[in-house]
Amino acid sequence: MKILIPLVLSLGSIVTTPALATDKTSGDVDFYLGAKTGYLYTAFDELDPKVPATFMIGIQQSGFGLEFEGTFVDMDENNIDFEYESYAIYGTYRTSGEFYAKIRAGYLEETLKSDTKKWEEDGFSGGIAFGLEVSDAFTIEAGYTVIQADLKYFSIGGNVHF
């Protein structure tokens, strides 16, 4: 009997947790951390990007949010190695539901550097993502971001919500 009561209570809480899970657009403040990767398209034929890594921190309430994102990727051109990094802050809007769409627009600063040269730019960046709430604490997203006119990012990743 000492084991049965905690077991029944534990199973009951596990079974009812999905029913009690709140929608991420319910009005509660939602913090999240994310990581993604994908394919970085560049209009420069000679510039060959490797696999990018992106890390994100975000907050949202009632569908509206704010994300800070950093993207890092190695590139090469004619046997010259480059390092690309960008930092962006986006305003976001996310639709409600288990399957959702998210649009984002914001400001981005980027740097491309080699051993001998360094280029820096800043400006507008925007994109769209489609996602799935796997659980109350985890979402998966596939997205498309225009970093600049000749640099686009197709990505897939996950977010852990707190």
CATH number at residue 60: 2.40.160.20
Least confident window among 61-65, 74-78, 82-86, 97-101? 74-78
Q: How do residues 32-50 score in pLDDT, each as one tens digit?
A: 999 999 999 988 777 788 9
Does residue 31 lie in a domain region? yes
Instruction: Kindly tell me if the per-residue pLDDT of 22 is higher than 80.
Output: no
pTM (predicted TM-score): 0.79
Least confident window among 18-27, 115-124, 141-150? 18-27
Does residue 7 lie in a domain region? no
Q: Which residue range forms the structural domain that includes residue 89?
A: 21-161
Does residue 9 lie in a domain region? no
List own/partner pairs for 95-101 with CB under 8 A and 24 or more apart: 95/25, 95/63, 96/23, 96/24, 96/25, 96/26, 96/63, 97/23, 97/133, 98/132, 98/133, 99/130, 99/131, 99/132, 99/133, 100/24, 100/130, 100/131, 100/132, 100/133, 101/128, 101/129, 101/130, 101/131
How many domains in the chain?
Answer: 1
Rounded Cα–Cα distance for residues 143 and 160 (Å): 17
Q: How do residues 92-121 score in pLDDT, each as one tens digit?
A: 999 999 999 999 999 999 999 999 999 999
Q: Distance from CA of residue 130 to its chain's centroid?
A: 11
Does residue 123 lie in a domain region? yes
Mean pLDDT of all residues belonging to the chain: 87
pLDDT > 70: percent of the chain: 84
Instruction: Kindly tell me if the per-residue pLDDT of 6 is higher than 60.
Output: no
Residue 77 has a pLDDT of 85
Does residue 2 lie in a domain region? no
